[in-house]
Structure 1
Amino acid sequence: MGVLEDKSRARTFYKYLSKVYDRVNTFIWTEEMRAEALSMLDIDADDRVLDVGCGTGFGTEGLLQHTEHVYGLDQSPHQLEKAWAKLGKRDPVAFHFGDAERLPFKDDSFDLVWSSGSIEYWPHPVEGLREIRRVAKPGSQVLVVGPDYPTSTVFQKLADAIMLFYDEAEADRMFREAGFEDIEHRVLRKNESSPPAIVSVARAPERDEG
């Protein structure tokens, strides 16, 4: 487990990173990359959408271009304060302080769940994905963005020491273990020298009526 996959360390990390997060983020996750990820989804204007690990609201802003019914959740009060400053504390987004691995929502609450730049900090990512499946309506789409696993052995060791990095095979394993279906992946990057992000889209299974 990487250093930042500990929740208390991650909160401390974001206490300081939140001050410059929006500037740093543009080197890793851009508006163009966000738009391409959003194009992988079918979002209707009346869909109820959850942004897990919403941070300062960058992904949330993209979701608001498609629906007004957006809910954001993050475990960092400092990140949420940045999101509130940009978007308001209650309107147009219903923000919640909470843990991705213990979502404070009822079963089948959302038509779509989005999470970008969060899974790499979850100590138990499969449990987090199961929680997402629980709150997602049967048949609904889920999109998760995380850091793609480095190809260099040296960088692999460094990545493993910090937080979760994974490739398409590992993403498949995690999503299938969490009970998802119709899984697909796309690797996005700002340019050839930028760190890659892996975008995974899957579907919550329909209920067995039998």
Structure 2
Amino acid sequence: MTRADLGKDPRDVSAMFDRVAARYDRTNAVLSVGNAALWRVATTKAIAPKPGERILDVAAGTGTSSASLAKSGASVVAADFSPGMIEVGRRRQAHVPNLVFVEADAMKLPFGDADFDAVTISFGLRNVKEPKVALAEFLRVTKPGGRLVVCEFSHPPVGVVRAGYDFYQKVVMPPLVKLSSSNDDAYDYLNESINAWPDQPTLAGWIRESGWADVAWRNLTAGIVALHRARKPLTGAVAAPVE
């Protein structure tokens, strides 16, 4: 198995990411035409980590986003279900003292209730077999009043941008993958998973249905990526309508 499919069997997805771990960050930088760094900055600002906070970064991969969060002084747990990703991450982020890596399934997190001030996941929720189960788990491990930030590929609302992005995925992306990735077949799944992923309002609805409040999103790079935000209610309050 060199790639997963839209059935998203956890073993297949984990094995696929094991195989791309060594060149994962470089491939992301190439395929995003440098935008990956900008998306990471936007995500970090949305999380707004503070010294002394405890933050969970799910599907953290090699910990690049986790290290960005840890610069604030917060204690960061980088969770991923790919042993290969964790191995690379521990080696690359060994200099970050307030960052630890944990092998974990997003649908069954090995943490107690209300353990974290904030939970975030970047470009990983669409790889989870049951995203709504994961969103409920994120809520469980977050403190009342705590924050959720989901950064994920989405659907550009403007037709001309959608057409351009479709051309990029079908024509430009394949040769770039062959040049930069250690497993170009795995990136066929990348396109499939992006195209099958729901749009911004639908994901916002999933988040709200999972019990999160103050659900909102904003588009990055014309909607190719969307940054969703929410808070865990202090009580049993009903979530607010999405913007």
Structures share fold, TM-score greater than 0.5: yes
Contact 2:116 2:143 in 1 (8 A): yes
Among 19, 28, 32, the residue aligned to 1:16: 19
2:81 & 2:47 partners in 1: Cα distance? Answer: 25
2:98 & 2:137 partners in 1: Cα distance? Answer: 24
Among 155, 159, 167, the residue aligned to 2:199: 167
* Higher mean C-alpha displacement, 132-141 vs 167-176: 167-176
Larger helix share, 1 or 2: 2
Percent identity among equivalent residues? 25
2:43 & 2:19 partners in 1: Cα distance? Answer: 28
Does 2:113 correspond to 1:110?
no
Among 144, 147, 150, the residue aligned to 1:138: 144
Does 2:222 correspond to 1:199?
no
Residue 48 of structure 1 corresponds to: 54
How far did 1:61 drift? Answer: 1.5
- 1:93-129 per-residue CA deviation (whole Å, 9 max, x = no partner) reads 1211110000000000001111111101111101100
Aligned residues: 203
SS at match of 1:30: helix
Does 2:119 correspond to 1:87?
no
Contact 2:50 2:74 in 1 (8 A): no
The residue identity in structure 1 corresponding to 2:226 is: I
How far did 1:168 drift? Answer: 1.3
- 1:29-64 per-residue CA deviation (whole Å, 9 max, x = no partner) reads 522221122222332211110101110111101101
* Higher mean C-alpha displacement, 32-41 vs 95-104: 32-41
1:84 & 1:187 partners in 2: Cα distance? Answer: 31
How far did 1:92 drift? Answer: 2.9
Residue 217 of structure 2 corresponds to: 185
Gaps of 5+ in 2: 157-161, 167-187, 238-243
- The two structures have a TM-score, normalised by structure 2, of 0.75
How far did 1:160 drift? Answer: 10
Residues 136 and 19 (structure 1), Cα distance of their counterparts in 2 relative to 1, 3 Å cut: same
